[in-house]
Amino acid sequence: MYAPVESNQGFNFKPELPTSSAYYRLLKKLRRQVGHAIRDYNMIEDGDKVMVCVSGGKDSYTLLDILLQFKRIAPINFDIVAVNLDQKQPGFPEDVLPRYMEENNIPYYILEKDTYTITKRLTPEGKTYCAVCSRLRRGSLYGFAQEIGATKVALGHHRDDIMATFFLNLFHGGSLKAMPPKLLSSDKKNILIRPLAYVEEKDIIKYAELRQFPIIPCNLCGSQENLQRAIINDMLREWDKQHPKRLHSIFGALQNVSPSQLADRELFDFEALDGQREFDMKDPEEMKNRLDVVNLSFAAE
């Protein structure tokens, strides 16, 4: 359920840009991190049409804002269109996102799909909604990307989301996987990109506050996965306080994988190691003399 929101109350849909030095330092940092992610993973190319999925939360607003800035200064030409999936959840303020997009001259679509009702109907009693809801949401957005000719689908997941997913899979899924910065969808029809992959959540929180985005407060019903994710997020925040360099090291580990040092037989051919061994064949007489010396030393002891 979405928390009740009085339409337009307290929202400035086109606030003046901040002028503080703190804002410009943060903006420079975010631009640099997003730029590096786009470059490192070849996320956006000349002629791309990037569909930015906007939920009304701080992450997707920040993603859209930074990408629009890149569009103005980038040496390549690409288009951006914002898309919101209105899942018809009770209490969702339908006017907030359209007004923000229109007042800031941002091309957008509102995709209306009553996945809320479908999710409630398809989810067995006593089970959580998350699996069905996320599958329906992905299907709707990916299909719509094809309809509008989008070549890339941009999602607002940040560095902390990626690490939380890694630990969720490690602790509860029995697998070593996270959210890759760039991914081919399972139907092989969409390229998904996460330009905020290098950005810390605490910086997004600060940026969203400074930019005064009209955040839509969300009180989605919790599920076991979401509960575990919240616990892991608390763990990551505590680590960040106690050991400031730890999260940086963990994320670096996700970019520096050594398959031969793990135990996945599908990922690395352990059986082939015997055939790859290199023998250093010494002269037999020389080896015999070495052994004699060793044996004599043992005897002397």
- Has 133 been labeled as part of a binding site? yes
Quote the pLDDT of residue 4.
41
- Alpha-carbon span 247 to 163, nearest angstrom: 8
Q: Convert the pLDDT of each residue in 151-198 to its tens digit.
A: 999 999 999 999 999 999 999 999 999 999 999 998 899 999 999 999
152-154 and 191-193 beta bridge pairing: parallel
d(CA 199, CA 159): 5
pLDDT of res. 223: 46
Q: How far is CA 76 from the centre of its chain?
A: 24
Q: In this structure, which amino acid lies at residue 197? A: A
- 130 among annotated binding-site residues: yes
What does the pLDDT look like over 95-133, one tens digit per residue? 999 999 999 999 999 999 887 787 778 777 766 666 677
What is the rounded distance in angstroms from the CA atom of residue 164 to the CA atom of residue 228? 10
Place of tokens 């943060």: 26
- Choose among 50, 58, 48, 51: nearest CA to 85: 51
A 10 A CB-CB count for 119 gives: 20
Nearest to residue 218, comparing CAs of 103, 92, 101, 115? 92
222: DSSP letter: P
How much is the pLDDT for 129? 65
Residue 266 Cα distances to 236, 270, 275, 276, angstroms: 30, 9, 18, 18
| Distances, alpha carbon 208 to alpha carbons 27, 60, 201, 205, 221, in Å | 11, 10, 11, 5, 24
Helices (H), the chain: 21-40, 58-73, 96-103, 115-122, 130-147, 159-168, 201-211, 224-242, 246-254, 273-276, 284-300
Which amino acid appears at position 121 of this protein? R
Provide the residue type at 18 as one letter.
P
Per-residue pLDDT of the chain (301 residues; tens, 9 = 90+): 444 444 455 677 888 889 999 999 999 999 999 999 999 999 999 999 999 999 999 999 999 999 999 999 999 999 999 999 988 888 888 999 999 999 999 999 999 988 778 777 877 776 666 667 778 888 889 999 999 999 999 999 999 999 999 999 999 999 999 999 999 998 899 999 999 999 999 999 999 999 999 998 765 554 445 578 889 999 999 999 999 999 999 999 999 999 999 999 999 999 999 988 887 666 667 766 776 766 666 666 6
Determine contact, residues 50/152, Cβ cutoff 8 Å. yes
| Ligand-binding site membership of 53 (annotated) | no
**Domains (range + CATH), the chain:** 21-259 (3.40.50.620)
What's the pLDDT score for residue 230? 86
Q: In the structure encoding, which two tokens stand for residue 86, read together? A: 């209105």
Name residue 4's amino acid: P
Q: What is the pLDDT, as a whole number, of residue 296?
A: 62
Whole-prediction pTM value?
0.86
Return d(Cα 233, Cα 200) in angstroms, integer.
12
How many Cβ atoms sit within 10 Å of the Cβ of residue 23? Answer: 15
**Tokens for 126?**
């006593």
